[in-house]
Structure 1
Amino acid sequence: MRAWAAPFHRPLPGRGLPVRLHDTASDSVRLAAKGPTASLYVCGITPYDATHLGHAATYVAFDVLVRAWRDAGQEVRYVQNVTDIDDPLLERAASVGIDWAELAATQVQLFRDDMAWLGVIPPDKYVSAVDTIPRITELIGRLKDRSAVYDVDGDLYFSVRSDPRFGEISHLDAATMRTLFAERGGDPDRPGKQDPLDCLVWRLERPGEPSWPSPYGAGRPGWHIECTAIVLDHLDTGGGIDVQGGGNDLIFPHHEMCASEAHVATGRWPFAHTYTHAGMVAYQGAKMSKSLGNLVFAATLRTAGHDPGVVRLALYGHHYRSCWEWTDTMLDEASATLDRWRAAVAAPAGPDAAPVLDEVRRCLANDLDVPGAVAAVDTWMRRTLADGGPDPAAPALMADVVDTLLGIGLRQ
């Protein structure tokens, strides 16, 4: 599947620092990638209401990670999926009277347009769940060979207890797992299951639903097995990937299930060395969600003529792991900041910018402390506007720092 055009990259003098990220499984901040190549998988959208600002905050956060890794001299192998077949997509298509494939294609293109507008670096591979079905059925076969898949009325389920490490990412008790599983697409109360938490890997064809041929009968894949198959096929070279990322609503069940399926299928641990999760964005007193309808869409801001740098600055007001609430005044505040920064980099000279570059790099290496990086940049911008400075090369360097590391274009 095609992704979107990559933004122009301006190299910076020197080299960034090794990035350390918070790992959900160990609840610690650790080196995110040890080798010359960093591998990243970020769970993508289910294309039926793209792209609200909760999505944007997550993908912009991992965009900064990619930028920081590249600045540190590491090659980045980045894969993202799109869940273009799943119950929520089919339900939305039915409710609005449109073919599910047409709805998915329209929303995927909208997401591409939004990501390009926001200056997000595209993944190296942007992978469709539908295109992955042959790999998914192969993976199910590997799990069956290990007695980790069983049949319930023609549907196939993965036995989570086949992985002795199940639960080591989320560290939740059984009752909480069951509650979240029910809320997030699971079916803990289905009769015939060996464990309430066992997850669907292949759904036998139902009347009126799309289906694909498989050794297990015509049907379609479950949700979690999709990402497991994509990572194993496109990213994992045998030692586990460096980072699996997404919103913190994916910790359980999605990332827990993906890891367990991979552990059992490969006989290797870990699936990912670091599990990194972005916080949720609320609006009007509740988490932005499609079910509540309290969504602010990137496309709405884009078509209204807002500068993408303003949106990124508004998202940068909070650390990526925090949960926070969007307010409409954030755009005005961010717009004022962007205007100040553009005025400062247009000045004939300014204070030495090298220490600011160093501080931005330190902040990003420290679990993507983007608010700290923004504060360091803003201090320089204010000093420049107030007092000028002796260095005629400093404004151009600051413009490059903001563009390359924060994804905000200041040159007009």
Structure 2
Amino acid sequence: MKLRLHNTMTRRTEAFVPLDPERITMYVCGPTVYNYIHVGNARPAVVFGLLARLLRRNYGNLVYARNITDVDDKINAAASEAGTPISAITARYAQAYHEDLARLGVDPPDVIPHATAHMAEIILMCERLIASGHAYVAEGHVLFEVAQFADYGKLSGRSTEDMLAGARIDVAPYKKSPGDFVLWKPSTEDLPGWDSPWGRGRPGWHIECSAMAAAHLGETIDIHAGGNDLLFPHHENEVAQSTCAHGGKTFARYWLHNGMLTFGGKKMSKSLGNVMILHELLDKYPAEVLRFLLLRAHYRQPLDWSDNTLTQARATLDGWYGVLRDRSDVKVNTAEEFVPEEFEAALCDDINTPAAFAVLSRLADAARQARSDADRHQTKAALLGAAHLIGLLHEDADAWFQQFESGQTVDAAWVEGLLNERQSARASKDFARADQIRKELAERNIIIEDGAGGARWKVVSPGDSSTG
């Protein structure tokens, strides 16, 4: 199916045409591993992980890299504060990052390059930029000379004044121009450092990604993606240094950027104290609720995060899992699942997840209303195929309803025992005891649903009196 993507570089939604259909390449900026990531950091991994699934379905041959930045001043500060080696900080939080994304249903990329494993490539790129006249050495630093790249600012669309104002630049006396950015800087003995032609030092942040992308994907890649907070200066600087280091070759043919998360309408930031740590959220909510919410809005738009949106996400998934529970007698194996064309077409239209979820709701309605055996099987197979492609409805339906909002499960044997006691009480017309059991369960946020097939139960959010 034809894939269309909004290219930040051209400001247009374009048909995706790979440079080499036999080897499609995609690079997504990963985290700087000095702490647990906040939920906003998970959005690009979830969204562009979904894009990777679409590329594999439609082309088959994808090399997807998502890096780990494991040398950075924030890491140095965290290690110093904790009194531990820097490697202990980076190893701990890189592992946590991978584990948390796995819980979110994010497929691992093909390549996970670490900056510290690419010092030779980084130094070589610096040497090339110096040799071509695009970079210079000053007081142990290597700096990219922005004036030597005519297209600087094209990706972000910023003027020179805007770029200088937004770059938070330390105007050091050794810079030829305030906008010049660091490729390599000296390290004191108490900081990580590597030998280089310019003395012991460490790389700047921007050149790390350029070197890693070239090492694993080539000098020109198909897709480069990340959060729009990276558009300037990080991605702008990547374009400049990669293009100049590789003789003017296009660095990335398609640039994709996701919008930021907001909390109560305000941008998530540590300074505002409204950052939501993913690791903590995964211990409070079912992972699929978080994944659904991260995909709910179109990826290029801001995404508001609140208790209300989390409740809405859980309610939507409850509805879809309710269909699967009602159709538990219809057996569909993995080979029988299929993705309806309308659903995949929505995703292939610039990863339009809102449109895809609208289709998924219609598929759930069709499965709920199907009557013949053939229709019941067909509609459930379509619902599962679509949901599994987008990374949802992987849990057992009964188990889904037997967990609290936190994801912790209820003692099902205890509930079933009370339901059996209630059934016996009703059979003997002891309705007072039957009502008492219903109330006792309701106090634990467990509601009873009486139907033709007998009584069923589910866990609801505190204060939710819905009877499903």
Common topology (TM > 0.5): yes
28-37 or 275-284: bigger deviation:
28-37
- Structure-2 residue corresponding to 1:79: 65
Does the 8 Å CA contact 1:345/1:398 hold for their aligned counterparts?
no
Name the CA distance, whole Å, in 1 between partners of 2:395 and 2:87. Answer: 40
Name the CA distance, whole Å, in 2 between partners of 1:355 and 1:400. Answer: 5
Q: Alpha carbons of 1:388 and 1:178: their partners in 2 closer, same or farther (altered >3 Å)?
A: farther
SS at match of 1:30: strand
Say if 2:381 is the partner of 1:396.
yes
SS at match of 2:5: strand
- Structure-1 residue corresponding to 2:3: 19
Shift of 1:393: 3.1
Q: How does 1:257-336 map to 2 (within 5 A)?
A: 257-304=237-284, 306-336=285-315
Name the CA distance, whole Å, in 1 between partners of 2:124 and 2:271. Answer: 34
Q: Alpha carbons of 1:59 and 1:388: their partners in 2 closer, same or farther (altered >3 Å)?
A: farther
- Structure-2 residue corresponding to 1:131: 117
90-99 or 68-77: bigger deviation:
90-99
SS at match of 1:113: helix
- Structure-2 residue corresponding to 1:168: 154
SS at match of 1:126: coil
Shift of 1:93: 3.0
2:322 corresponds, among 328, 334, 343, to 343
Name the CA distance, whole Å, in 1 between partners of 2:153 and 2:299. Answer: 24
The amino acid that maps onto 2:249 is W
The amino acid that maps onto 1:398 is L
Name the CA distance, whole Å, in 2 between partners of 1:224 and 1:62. Answer: 21
Q: How does 1:10-49 map to 2 (within 5 A)?
A: 17-34=1-18, 35-49=21-35
Name the CA distance, whole Å, in 2 between partners of 1:31 and 1:59. Answer: 22
Say if 2:75 is the partner of 1:93.
no
- Structure-2 residue corresponding to 1:112: 98
Name the CA distance, whole Å, in 2 between partners of 1:74 and 1:30. Answer: 20
Shift of 1:355: 10
Name the CA distance, whole Å, in 2 between partners of 1:394 and 1:385. Answer: 9
Name the CA distance, whole Å, in 2 between partners of 1:49 and 1:281. Answer: 19
1:232 corresponds, among 197, 207, 214, to 214
Q: Alpha carbons of 1:266 and 1:20: their partners in 2 closer, same or farther (altered >3 Å)?
A: same
- Structure-2 residue corresponding to 1:4: none
SS at match of 2:377: coil
2:233 corresponds, among 224, 249, 253, to 253
- Structure-2 residue corresponding to 1:5: none
Structure having the higher Rg: 2
- Structure-2 residue corresponding to 1:408: 392
Deviations 1:74-121 (A, max 9, x none): 311101111111112222333444433222111111101111111111
Shift of 1:354: 9.8
Shift of 1:386: 4.7
SS at match of 2:37: coil
Name the CA distance, whole Å, in 1 between partners of 2:263 and 2:78. Answer: 22
Q: Alpha carbons of 1:173 and 1:147: their partners in 2 closer, same or farther (altered >3 Å)?
A: same
Question: Aligned residues: percent identity?
Answer: 32
The two structures have a TM-score, normalised by structure 1, of 0.88
- Structure-2 residue corresponding to 1:208: 190
Name the CA distance, whole Å, in 2 between partners of 1:280 and 1:109. Answer: 24
**What is the RMSD of the two structures over their aligned residues, measured on CA atoms?**
2.1
The amino acid that maps onto 1:302 is L
Name the CA distance, whole Å, in 1 between partners of 2:35 and 2:16. Answer: 31
Name the CA distance, whole Å, in 1 between partners of 2:306 and 2:142. Answer: 44
The two structures have a TM-score, normalised by structure 2, of 0.78
Does the 8 Å CA contact 2:337/2:381 hold for their aligned counterparts?
no
2:221 corresponds, among 225, 231, 241, to 241
- Structure-2 residue corresponding to 1:368: 351
Does the 8 Å CA contact 1:93/1:99 hold for their aligned counterparts?
yes
Does the 8 Å CA contact 1:19/1:32 hold for their aligned counterparts?
yes
2:368 corresponds, among 356, 365, 385, to 385
Unpaired runs of at least 5, structure 1: 1-16
Kindly indicate whether structure 1 or structure 2 has the higher relative contact order, using CA contacts under 8 Å at least 6 residues apart. 1
Task: Report the number of matched residues.
Answer: 386
More helix by share: 2
Deviations 1:51-83 (A, max 9, x none): 211111111010110111122133111011111
Name the CA distance, whole Å, in 1 between partners of 2:260 and 2:211. Answer: 26
Does the 8 Å CA contact 1:399/1:411 hold for their aligned counterparts?
no
SS at match of 1:127: coil
Say if 2:197 is the partner of 1:218.
no
Shift of 1:46: 0.5
Shift of 1:24: 0.8
1:150 corresponds, among 132, 136, 142, to 136
Shift of 1:42: 0.3
Does the 8 Å CA contact 2:45/2:106 hold for their aligned counterparts?
yes
Q: Alpha carbons of 1:26 and 1:312: their partners in 2 closer, same or farther (altered >3 Å)?
A: same
Q: Alpha carbons of 1:33 and 1:299: their partners in 2 closer, same or farther (altered >3 Å)?
A: farther
Shift of 1:356: 7.0
Shift of 1:381: 0.9
Q: Alpha carbons of 1:178 and 1:358: their partners in 2 closer, same or farther (altered >3 Å)?
A: same
SS at match of 1:316: helix
Does the 8 Å CA contact 2:153/2:160 hold for their aligned counterparts?
no
